[in-house]
A and B are shown apart, each in its own frame.
Chain A
Amino acid sequence: MVAKFDSATAMLRALASFLQGRDFPMLGGRPWAEPLAGGLLGLVNRLPEGLRERLYIYSGWSEATPPAKLARVRSEELADWVVDHYPRRRYSAVLVGSSNGAAVHLAAALGVPWLPQTLLLPVRQRGVHPDEPAQDLEAMVEPARALLAANPDLVLHHKHDANQDRLMIQRMTYFRVKRLRLGAAYERFLADHLEPGGMLLLVDCTLSWPTTKVGDRHVFQQGALGGATVQEAHQGSQRVADYLRRYGSHRRRGDPPPPDADRPEAEWGFEPAMGEDVERLAADRGYRVRRIVFDQPEDLSPLVADLYRDWYRRRGIPAGRLLVESFILLEPWLALVTGSVPLWLVFNTEPSLATIHRYLDAARPFDEIRMTLFSHGVESVGLPTIDQWRSVLHRAGKVGSFLGVDEQAFPRDFATLARYHQALARVRKRYPMPRSLSLEELDAFLDRSGERYAVDWR
């Protein structure tokens, strides 16, 4: 029911692999199949563009759930599925809340799990044009009602992004569900696996988006964080018009239902109701709570990168390797094994390119810069060229390289999903896995330098 290709799932699996003492080949696929998949997808990269796009659409559709089955979804089963990923032991802390690649690296450093608030349930649909968001909404009202009736502790964010998800939304709809409460499965997991008096770290990304209320616990979101701005998603722009013309659309701007309020962004934003529930549970059970509050998903990335760099320095490891990660192409285990400073980027678009350049402007130079680069199949608004991405690599003192990227095929490089891990796994000069950072060490780092970042620790 839950999408494998989604941020929450990939991050959950990457972190679970880490806590099991493993790296993360092929987004959690079978390690032995990696070379084969890399080869086959390499052939796919050579197919004509149209055919490659059809395959991408099909891969999304094949994971999606028929609308009629949504009524069978139970939020507690989803939560059970989440916690089943993690090794059964006592943790000093547990992260709860927003999906965030930097938070995954923070959790890995601390050696603790993360309980996601948001999951993606892709729903099959057909016959709705990508540039007809109102039709998509209408077609999904009934399945949404059935889903929500059966799950009173979920709020549904129906997201429609004809810019970056143009291929996927031809045969599926993005239903993101956010938990309003921890629920029985998460509470049981905490009772069994969080140390008495342990710490709940609430990952609270305050990113919001103009949305339309469809019904009780049901909102509709037009557009998403990425290359196009909020305004462009709703009012359009010249480059949106150019983009739609390029893709042969009958429209020159999106025509979404009018938004009525800003609400948590579907994929990254934190729904505050769950925060209250976490506070309640902590008060009942004597846990400590700390909120990690930030506005943009990438705000946490420089802080976590510098935390790693500081950690390497204290361990006597040269801290001159940077691993730039794109969206779900992340590798917490190999980051530490190769002594790489992880800097997570939310996607492959212009604002993310600006983030990495800003980080490099402020940081001491890196000898080696390696970068994963996600391909979503669309030459969407605000997508930098491969040359612009390469400019990041040129900032390395010695070695700048893409990890398993087919530069000619970007942004339709589907082989990278099977290749980025392999490329990173081949990097030589490795370091032993350190013991986890303690919360005290994290605090000491924050005391030394916490003010520098756009992150509020409450």
Chain B
Amino acid sequence: MGAVLDRLVDRRLARAAGSQWTRVDGRRFHARHAGPEATTASPVVCVHGVGVSSRYMVATMTELASTFEVYAIDLPGFGLTDKPPEVLDVVGLADALAAWIQVAGLGRPALLANSVGCQVAVDFAVRYPERVSRMVLVGPTTDPAARTTLGQVLRWLRNLPGERPGQMPLSVADYADAGVGRVLRTFGHALVDRIEDKLALVQAPTLVVRGDRDPIVPQAWAEEVTRLLPHGRLAVVAGAPHTVNFAAPGALAELVGPFLVEVDLA
């Protein structure tokens, strides 16, 4: 059934962003790609959150694709990328991202991440600083004030009614691809990943974006993330839930576009 759903969902998405396959260390990586043929700006790589995949990034890709070359990766174990035998933790996922960026020949891209994807992006930016130009962290997890399974689940449930219903079939396809066990264990890895200890080491200019209806990332935590980043700035999207990239892609692109072409002062 998962495969049928994948086909239905992906056929629609493929119109906006085509699939691209890259072999990295013997494993097939899937990414979606959209954008102009020639552009001088750094490419943008979108990094998804826990359990989901590049599918829910397509709306934002579409918004950015007139100006930027945009990729959205399926991290190993998620979406259509091959599954590694083990469940990768945040560091493992960041290493996989680094390997794919290198093999895909993307140079020094900007990263746009959502939720747990922000933890992967931050870990990547700290350990491979020469390989990232800028970052956009949309709803960065995990708030240390609720670092328990119960705390996170309650926040996730509170967030659900605010998300767009259109995300549901995508998420079902994504969870079917990843398998519930992998989703839960990845969530467990993310829970113990202390992003707050890494943020001060990020050298890339970083835009933190929060939906003002996001209970998973309260305002105080978004402000704390921004404060800890040496070159951070916070933008709040009115009326948006946790998944700003799916629920408010236009508003997100309006913030991200100018940020990505800013001249580096950092």
Contacts and interface: CB of A to CB of B under 8 A. Distances in A.
A398 interface: yes
26 contacts: A368-B223, A368-B227, A398-B226, A398-B227, A398-B229, A398-B232, A399-B223, A399-B226, A399-B233, A399-B234, A400-B234, A401-B219, A401-B223, A401-B234, A401-B236, A407-B238, A423-B219, A426-B219, A426-B220, A427-B223, A428-B220, A428-B221, A428-B224, A428-B227, A429-B224, A429-B227
B234 A427 contact: no
A422 to B, nearest CB: 10
A367 B224 CA distance: 12
A139 to B, nearest CB: 45
A397 interface: yes
B227 A397 contact: no
A359 to B, nearest CB: 21
Contacts of A399: 223, 226-227, 233-234
Given A399-B233, A400-B234, 6 more contacts: A368-B227, A398-B226, A398-B233, A399-B226, A401-B219, A428-B220
A369 to B, nearest CB: 11
B205 to A, nearest CB: 11
B224 to A, nearest CB: 4
Chain A: interface size category: 10 to 19
Interface of A: 367-368, 397-401, 407, 423, 426-429
A445 to B, nearest CB: 27
Closest 9 CB pairs of A and B: A426-B220, A428-B224, A399-B234, A399-B223, A398-B226, A399-B226, A428-B220, A398-B233, A398-B232
B219 A428 contact: no
Contacts of A428: 220-221, 223-224, 227
B218 interface: yes
Contacts of B220: 426-428
A29 B217 CA distance: 29
Interface in B192-229: 218-221, 223-224, 226-227, 229
Contacts of B238: 407
Nearest to A407: B238
Nearest to B231: A398
Nearest to A426: B220
Contact of A367 (B219, B221, B227): B227
B32 to A, nearest CB: 32
Nearest to A427: B220
Contacts of B227: 367-368, 398-399, 428-429
A401 B226 CA distance: 12
Contacts of A429: 224, 227
Contacts of B233: 397-399
A59 to B, nearest CB: 28
A368 B236 CA distance: 14
A407 B236 CA distance: 13
A401 B210 CA distance: 12
Nearest to A428: B224
A426 B234 contact: no
A168 B226 CA distance: 41
Contacts of B232: 398
A400 B219 CA distance: 11
Contacts of A398: 226-227, 229, 232-234
B227 to A, nearest CB: 6
Interface string B44-81: 00000000000000000000000000000000000000
A286 to B, nearest CB: 49
A399 B206 CA distance: 12
